[in-house]
Amino acid sequence: QVQLVESGGGLVQLGGSLRLSCAASGRPFQRYTMGWFRQAPGKEREFVAAISWRGGSTTYADSVKGRFTISRDNAKNTAYLQMNTLKLEDTAVYSCAASTGRPSVLSAEYTDWGQGTQVTVSA
């Protein structure tokens, strides 16, 4: 099991940027694919982005392609989500998750989850 703690959320203006971090502890971080998901009030959890254990493979939801970038630093046991050109519809609780499989859009593929960090985009 790997423990995950997100940080970096907050209130940002429309069109602004934020960088989320996901710090991992426990089992070796470099063994895990990392993903970011989000859940807005009254909506289902949705996939945002994922990155393979070496960082060579990434995948994004269509809604964030070209605006968000997922990355990782295995030496720091941390994954990141750089979010640019934020829209009102990006408001949600963002959670990172770990998987021993390949990058996947399916939340069921991820076994360990952080508690999430709130991102609020204001007009």
User: Span 70-88, mean pLDDT?
Assistant: 97
Strands (E), the chain: 2-7, 10-13, 18-26, 33-39, 46-51, 58-60, 68-73, 78-83, 92-99, 112-113, 117-122
Q: With contact defined as beta carbons under 8 Å apart, do 60 and 35 qualify?
A: no
pLDDT tens per residue, range 23-59 = 999 888 888 999 999 999 999 999 999 999 998 899 9
User: Span 53-74, mean pLDDT?
Assistant: 96
State residue 28's pLDDT score. 87
Q: Which of 88, 85, 92, 84 is nearest to 121 (CA)?
A: 88
State residue 30's pLDDT score. 86
